[in-house]
């Protein structure tokens, strides 16, 4: 049994990872900054502690209280769009927040395994698809740049100080309880329109893109597998290895709807930079014995069922 600290542990990825690790017998403590979504808050249980990772003293106090064997670092500013408006805040949380943990491990001389939740967005727009871990990082947003910097810090601290770091490069991850990605945005709209009057019109952004998206339960299994079997200092893509058409995701969910729904593009939903195709090369992850287990249509059906049972984006019961 390991003592595990999951920063941002009451968020989407952290909650599902907590549930997985707790089921395996690990002693998990989750940190949070904002009050969690009620749906996610009950996953996995365990102790919780409020923590602002940008506050170095607070990070030190938390680590000295928990004394973890493993840290999964998910806390941060997780969105592309807000990063354009506040690059400084994004870097303060995502880069300085990561450095605070690495420095504590370095100065305390403890062999704590540190897993960093990086992003496939760090690769940016690449002509090479699928993208392997050797693909140059050319981030196309402040958020992506902050994740690239955190990734490189983990490499440097492993090579310079022999801290066992594991660099996750997470591509699209979805499932019940997520807010803000295309599958959940579409499903939320379908669920609301089913109960509303006609005309039933969905608002969408750019549908002519393809994204590598994985069920969150498969994603967190991949994370645990990397920490258990991966090579310290290595980067590992976490994805399905399959580019999924955003238009096809929309049409699948429309096909599950009760009654007809039409579609209308809305300019405000179109990103400033929107890569046409994003696909992960997951050969390195597969060599560790991982493979996705949950069928994609089941993922979409469960997302839609989740939104049919809640009344707003805070995840409150209907």
Residue 275 has a pLDDT of 76
> Per residue in 26-76, pLDDT tens?
999 999 999 888 888 778 778 999 999 999 999 999 999 999 999 999 999
Residue 273 has a pLDDT of 64
> Per residue in 120-166, pLDDT tens?
999 998 888 999 999 999 999 999 999 999 999 999 999 999 999 99
**C-beta neighbour count of 179 within 10 angstroms:** 12
Structural domain that includes position 136: 3-173+214-238
Q: Give 237's strand partners.
A: 169
Number of structural domains (the chain) is 2
Tell me, yes or no, whether 112 and 33 share the same domain: yes
> Per residue in 194-212, pLDDT tens?
988 888 999 998 898 999 9
What does 23-76 look like in DSSP terms, one character per residue?
HTT-EEEEEESSPPPHHHHTSS--EEEE--TT-HHHHHHHHHHH--SEEEE--S
Closest by CA position to 143, among listed 118, 169, 175, 163: 118
Residue 172 has a pLDDT of 94
CATH code at position 43: 3.40.50.720
* Distant-in-sequence, close-in-space partners of 195: CB < 8 Å, separation ≥ 6: none
> Per residue in 245-272, pLDDT tens?
999 999 999 999 998 999 988 777 876 6
Please indicate, yes or no, if residue 283 is contained in any of the structural domains.
no
Strand ranges of the sheet holding 243-245, from the earlier edge strand across to the other edge: 172-174, 210-215, 243-245
Strand, coil or helix: what is 153? helix
pLDDT class of 316 with cuts at 50, 70, 90: very low
Tell me, yes or no, whether 86 and 225 share the same domain: yes
pLDDT class of 185 with cuts at 50, 70, 90: very high
Please indicate, yes or no, if residue 290 is contained in any of the structural domains.
no
Cβ density class 203-234: b for 16+ within 10 Å, e for less: ebbeeebbbbbbbbbbbbbbbbbbbeebebbe
CATH code at position 193: 3.90.25.10
């Amino acid at each position: 049994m390991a003592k595990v600290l999951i920063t941002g542990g009451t968020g989407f990825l952290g909650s599902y990872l907590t549930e997985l690790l707790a089921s395996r017998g690990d002693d998990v403590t989750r940190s949070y900054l904002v009050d969690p979504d009620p749906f996610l808050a009950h996953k996995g249980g365990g102790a919780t502690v409020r923590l602002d990772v940008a506050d170095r003293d607070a990070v030190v106090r938390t680590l000295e209280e928990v004394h973890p064997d493993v840290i999964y670092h998910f806390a941060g500013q997780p969105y592309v769009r807000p990063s354009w408006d506040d690059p400084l805040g994004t870097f303060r949380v995502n880069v300085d927040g990561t450095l605070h943990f690495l420095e504590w491990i370095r100065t305390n001389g403890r062999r704590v395994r540190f897993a960093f939740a990086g992003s496939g967005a760090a690769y940016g727009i690449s002509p090479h698809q699928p993208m392997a871990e050797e693909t140059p990082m050319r981030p196309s947003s402040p958020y992506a740049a902050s994740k690239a910097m955190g990734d490189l810090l983990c490499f440097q601290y492993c090579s310079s100080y022999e801290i066992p770091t594991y660099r996750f490069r997470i591509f699209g991850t979805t499932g019940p309880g997520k807010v803000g990605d295309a599958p959940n945005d579409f499903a939320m709209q379908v669920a609301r329109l089913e109960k509303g009057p006609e005309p039933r019109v969905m608002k969408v952004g750019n549908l002519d893109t393809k994204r590598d998206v994985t069920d969150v339960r498969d994603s967190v299994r991949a994370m645990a597998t990397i920490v258990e079997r991966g090579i310290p200092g290595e980067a590992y893509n976490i994805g399905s290895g399959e580019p999924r058409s955003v238009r096809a995701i929309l049409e699948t969910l429309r096909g599950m709807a009760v009654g007809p729904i039409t579609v209308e593009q809305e300019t405000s939903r179109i990103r400033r930079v929107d890569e046409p195709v994003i696909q992960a090369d997951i050969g390195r992850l597969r060599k560790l014995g991982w493979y996705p287990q949950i069928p994609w249509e089941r993922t979409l059906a469960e997302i839609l069922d989740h939104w049919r049972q809640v009344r707003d984006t805070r995840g409150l019961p209907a």
